[in-house]
A = this chain, B = another copy of it.
Amino acid sequence: MFADILRKIVEETRGGAGAVLMGYDGIAIDQYFRPLEGVDLQLVAVEYANILKDIKRTAEILDSGEMEEVTIRTGGFQVLIRILNDDYFVALTIEKDGNFGKGRYLLMREAPSLRAELA
Contact = CB atoms under 8 A, between A and B. Distances in A.
Copies of this chain in the oligomer: 2
A12 to B, nearest CB: 22
Interface string A35-65: 0000110011001101100110011011011
A64 B77 contact: yes
Give the dominant DSSP class at A's interface: mixed
A62 B96 CA distance: 15
A69 interface: yes
B58 A67 contact: no
Contact of A48 (B47, B58, B74): B58
Interface of A: 39-40, 43-44, 47-48, 50-51, 54-55, 58-59, 61-62, 64-77, 96
